Structures are given as C-alpha cells and as structure tokens.
Structure 1
C-alpha cells in the first residue's frame, strides 16, 4: 500500500510538470519504486530485445532520450510503465497501442513538416525568424558549425524522425508496442534519415531547425546532448556513423 501511494504521488508531480512543458520532450524519471501502477493494460516484455536489435537503430531518439542505457531498447529497465505512460499521455495523447501507432504513423506519413503554418514559413523564408536566429547562434557557438552550415538545412524532417524514435521507444517501455513493432518504427526512422541526409551533422541541423519552427523556446536543453553525440568518440552516433554510407 505504501509503495502504491508513493507511486501515485510521483505520477501526480510528473503530470503537473508535463502539463506545463508546452509540448516539449520531457524525460521520465528513473523508477525508484518496486511496485508499478499501470493505468492501461500493458504487454509483458517477455522478449529479449537488446541482442536482436541493430545497434544503429538505437542511435535515433538519442537527442531527446537519456544518455544512460541509450544503446538498450529497454533503457536498462530503469523506467516503470506507469511513469512512461504518463509522459506519453500528457505530451502525445498516447494511451494505448492504437493511439501509439496512430501518432507514429502520422509522424511517418505527414508529421509537423506537413503543417500549413510550417510550410508557409518555409516558403516565405525563415532567416528573420527570432527562434531560428537563436537556434542557429547555438549551432555556431556550441556545436562549432559555420554560419553557412547552420543555415544549410535540407528540410526539417529530422524533427519528425527523432520523435518517431522517441515515441516508439517510450511506447515499448510503456508496454504499448512489442520489441518487434518498436524496431520496425525505428527501421522506418533510420530509412527516412538515410534517404534525406548524409551525416549526423546534417541530421542535427534539420532537427534543430524543425524544433525552432515547431516549438521555439530555447535550444539550450538539447544542444548539449547534440554536442556530446557529435564530439564523444564513444557516443552512439559516432559508433554508428557508417549508416550514412549504406
């Protein structure tokens, strides 16, 4: 009973934080409780996912997801289902397998890149947009890109691609997708990226430009993650740089 009370209290605190996050990509807190409170029927993770999954698939979502255990589909089993379910529900209206697949399929086929206001901005030019200017300055100052590189985005599709990976992985942790289903969405995300970009640098510029247009605010919360992914020789990006030559 005490464990259940603690878990519910944690979920209430998390819900309040998520509702004030303006739709950004929060991370669930590691589980410290021994009992999981599940609000929706969840699948049992009886598969052995980590060994069967191509490591390069797990490089997608790494901008947003916690770095620890990023190379494991189950994220080191550090997050309980109720915690992750709360993240999905409050940020993407994902509450079960059906809504997870609906959101993921929308990101694959349409996504934020197809929203009229975004398409209008891209058509009119974005060089004078305040959020874009701030994000480009962060790319130059923190990531070491030249101003030309920061402006040279092919599209903003990486914003959607990264979210496909994040939602697929969280949906697996929440029990809404099987390992096989999550892997299929990750394979789709990788293929979309390979069809559009030639390096992690191009992917990062696209992601940050998409985030500037779709979310705005400040890049400070994610720019450090991207810098680590690009500069650390042992990062999951640098360990899987060969995907851009396939």
Structure 2
C-alpha cells in the first residue's frame, strides 16, 4: 500500500500555520500564568476572535491590545514583556516566510537564531517606585497598602494611592473575565479562597516536608509527582539558594505572601469598581496584614515568601528572579513604602 502523497504548503500557508500556532501557544501560556483560581478561565472565543480578525486583514488591534493589557495587569504579568514577546514572534514568522520564499529555510542563520539575537537586543529598564504624594492616606492606611506593594511596583502604579491608571470599566471587565468577580459576594469569595487556599496551601505542605527532611533527601520520584507541588518547590528553593535570592538558613516556611499581595490589590480593585465600600476594602487589607504578621516578623521575611511564591506559582525560576528584583528595590529604596512604614502597627 502506498502512502497518500500530500501537497506541499505554499510559503503563505506556512506563514499562516506558524501564525496560528503562535497565537495558540500565547493563549495557552496566558492561561497557565493565571493558575487554578475558582471561576478563572480564558474568555470564550478570544483565540478564534483574534484569528478571524487576522484572516480578514483588518484586525482591531486597539481593542486586542486593551484587552490584553488589562487582563495581564490583573494577574501581575507585565504587558510590556508580553508585547516584547509578540514583536519577537512576529519577526520570527516574517523571517520564516522570507526564508521559505527564497529557498533558504533551514540554511545559514536560522529564524530561531535571529529571534534569539533580537531577544538579546532588548534591554531591561529596571523597576521604579512611583508615588503620588497627595497625602490622602494616613500612616496606617499606607502601611496596609504596603502589603500589596510588590504588585503595585510590578504594574508601575503609585504605592501611596488607591487610584488606578485604568478606567473603572476596564477593571470591571478584567475582574469578571479572569476572576469571575462581579459584585461584593464574588469579591469576598475570591478573597476567602486566597486566604485559606490560594496557591500557597499545596506549596506550604511541600515546604514543611522539605524543612523536616532536608531538600537533598527528597527523591526524584517525589519531585516528579504531578499531584503535589514538591517538584516546583524544590526547583525554586534551589534557584533561590544558587542565585543568592535568599540567605542560607532563612528559607520561608510559607509562600502565603504571594496570595496576600494579591488580596490587598483585589480589595483595592473591588473598591474602585464599587463592589465593596471603603471600610470593607480596608478590612480586607487589614485581614491580609494580620495574617502576614502571623507568619512573618519583617518586610524581609515577607519579601522572601513572595519571591518563592511567585516562582512556585507555575514552577519558573525567572518569575522568582523578577520578584527578587522588586523585593530588593522595596527593601533598599528610600522611596519604598517598606522603608517608610513599619511591618507591625505602632
């Protein structure tokens, strides 16, 4: 029996296939970024909508960009990084199509090599602490807001203000699409989940086992167990030690700071959307601060927990590296709320 001969793809078909694969991969990565949150799912039809617009040749890029930036911001993912990756993917697809058309595909400098070179060309502007200096918040309110400071720095927002650069409708759409938060009840449901379980519960179980037995005694079989976070916790712990992101002997006992930072910001967003009143917002932040004090004794310990938690989130050391850079800034800069507010209430 002879195999059915397939028709070779044209350069245009190859480019379209690569483009579709890139979009699919990007959407899958975005879903993975947000973790397993109740009611948390990819907005239906987004991938199909993007591909349809691409196929029509008149994509509504402004709308797509606005949706992407709002969704990524809510999860603590830098839109600039995603935009950079998008440009790299587009350049990659364009070069691959050109190589196919001139017959050099797979010869000489490959499109993947070119993409790697472009990635190296992008610089890192670093992180900054922005302040409004309006004086509208008192000392205790600034202290409570400081427990959400890592995400404020990540999103390039003011660390001394409740305001958000995004308009309220954009924030509402983001909370609905990604957190299924649409009112007071759903806000409090997610807050409760983050405080009681979130992404820290399973990781803390693995951490306790590692502290009890030492990391070198954790078997490869245990690390590969997909039913637990043991593998991710071991990987991030080793990365933190190897890179000096945490002093030896000072590894956190919990990664709950990762969830507490998000609780504070969720409370702020819900208030801006009118889902909770101001008193309820401060109460949400107070609960997060009180729980932080049960686990940690300083901003340094809180920061190390955040560093580990962000990395364990989906097992990527680069996420811990980003968190480390932000935490170091918050611990050292005189403009930092961690420098200007005490960890414990006075």
* Residue 231 (1) aligns with residue 231 (2): no
Q: Structure 1 CA distance, aligned partners of 2:194 and 2:232?
A: 26
Check whether the contact 1:80–1:174 (CA below 8 A) recurs between aligned residues: no
Note the alpha carbon deviations across 1:182-228, whole angstroms, 9 max, x for none: 11101111111112111111111212222333332322443322121
Q: Deviations over 1:135-187 (max 9, x none)?
A: 653576475x42333xx212122122111112111222233222221111011
Alignment partner, residue 84 of structure 1: 171
Quick one: distance in 2 between partners of 1:18 and 1:216?
A: 24
Q: State the alpha-carbon separation in 1 of the partners of residues 272 and 334 from structure 2.
A: 28
Provide the residue aligned with 2:343 in structure 1: 243
Q: Partners of 1:135 and 1:226 in 2: how far apart?
A: 16
* Cα RMSD after superposing both structures: 3.3
The alpha carbon displacement at 1:11 in A equals 5.1
Q: Match for residue 104 of structure 1?
A: 191
1:56 to 143, 161, 167: 143
| 8 Å Cα contact 1:28/1:87 also seen in 2 | no
Aligned length: 211
- For the residues of structure 2 that align with 1:245 and 1:198, how far apart are their CA atoms? 12
- The TM-score, its normalising length taken from structure 2, stands at 0.52
Q: Residues 110 and 167 of structure 1: is their aligned pair in 2 closer, same or farther, counting only changes over 3 Å? A: same
| 5+ residue gaps, structure 1 | 1-7, 30-48
Counterpart of 1:13 (choices 52, 57, 65) is 65
Structure 2 CA distance for aligned equivalents of residues 139 and 58 of structure 1: 29
Deviations 1:65-115 (CA, angstroms, capped at 9, x unpaired)? 23442211224xx2211222233233322223221111012223333333x
> For residues 134 and 148 of structure 1, what CA distance do their matches in structure 2 show?
15
Judged with a 3 Å threshold, the aligned counterparts in structure 2 of structure 1 residues 235 and 17 are, in CA distance, closer, same or farther, namely: closer
Give me the whole-angstrom Cα distance separating, in 2, the residues matched to 1:140 and 1:59: 29
1:73 aligns with 2:162: yes
Map 1:115-126 onto structure 2 (within 5 A): 117-118=202-203, 120-125=205-210
Q: Give the TM-score, by structure 1 length.
A: 0.70
Partners of 1:11 and 1:156 in 2: how far apart?
A: 36
Q: What secondary structure does 1:125 align onto?
A: helix
CA 1:123–1:232 in 2, change beyond 3 Å: closer, same or farther?
closer
Mark the CA change 1:95 to 1:140 in structure 2 (over 3 Å): closer, same or farther. Answer: farther
Answer whether contact 1:140 1:146 (CA < 8 A) is retained: no
Q: Which sections of structure 2, spanning at least 5 residues, go unmatched?
A: 1-59, 81-134, 216-222, 224-230
Contact 1:18 1:91 in 2 (8 A): no
Looking at structure 1, the residues matched to 244 and 309 of structure 2 have their Cα atoms a distance apart, in angstroms, of 18
Max radius of gyration: which structure? 2
Deviation at 1:119, TM superposition (A): 5.4
